[in-house]
Amino acid sequence: MSNDTFSLSSNQKCKSLLDCPKGFANCSKVADLDDKRCIKDVREICLGGIPRNPIKSCNRSRDCYGKSMNSGEYIRWCDMGTHFCCKVLSNSTEELMCPDRVTPLYGQDKCEDANETMIYSGRSRQNGGFCYKGYSCPPKITLPHDLTFGSRTFQTNMDCNANEEVDQKFDFMFCHNDTGNLWVMGQYNVNGDEVIKHWTHCNTNNDCGEGLVCVKEDLCRYRCYDDPTLAVNYGSIVAQILAMFFVPIIFLSALVIITVKYLD
């Protein structure tokens, strides 16, 4: 539980907004507290969007989801600035998503040296990310009839369950077994080599095997790819190839020598 929840516990108790001081915005229920609390400004809870009801503290997005993390509840997120659960207001015109239109903007990490007066400014701490309104977004831009990608694989702060199918709206994304986050598939892996796509279709990572991930492609297809986050040990691969080549030769040479000695 974050320290922000304890600060809310010190807020004035209320039954309705009429019980709150003038200028306060809401009388809201807070998770783990028996009585409602007066909230002066919703932006204290959510920098974008609105607080979930009841207001709940969080450390990562899975704290804000329902029973199934892959059921399309990614319109909820954990605000990385306030550490409270937030969601999209259904009739809001506020831009709350990254340019890929599926990653919650305020659920992402803030960029360094961002200029508030500029939409695209700052420096993302993650390779491949780009800064939009001060937040680190995936290198994926969704336009009405186009979908463009960056070269790097990018980790979002959206949580997922690797044993469940990734929601169909997350084109070219996969759930990582170790981090439990949705990642955007890039063109290259961590070694800088082009990511290898396999012809095997899948629903989850379990269908692909070790070292592979199940990627949601476009047109509702799911396909196995090499895990782009795994560094390839080329020295080990070369050693294995050499072993495969030389071991049979050594074996045959030994067999020939033994045969010759036997014939003598």
Condensed to tens digits (0 to 9), the pLDDT of residues 170-180 reads 989 999 999 99
pLDDT in tens, 106-141: 999 999 999 989 999 999 998 888 999 999 999 876
Record the pTM. Answer: 0.78
Q: Which pLDDT value is given to residue 143?
A: 62
- The stretch 94-112 carries a mean pLDDT of 91
From first CA to last CA, the distance across the chain in angstroms is 83
The whole-number pLDDT of residue 191 equals 85
Tokens of 178: 């170790």
pLDDT at 189 over 90: no
- pLDDT greater than 50 at residue 234: no
Least Cα distance to 179 among 228, 129, 124 occurs for 228
Q: What is the pLDDT of residues 141-165, one digit of tens each?
A: 666 656 566 678 899 999 999 999 9
pLDDT of residue 93: 73
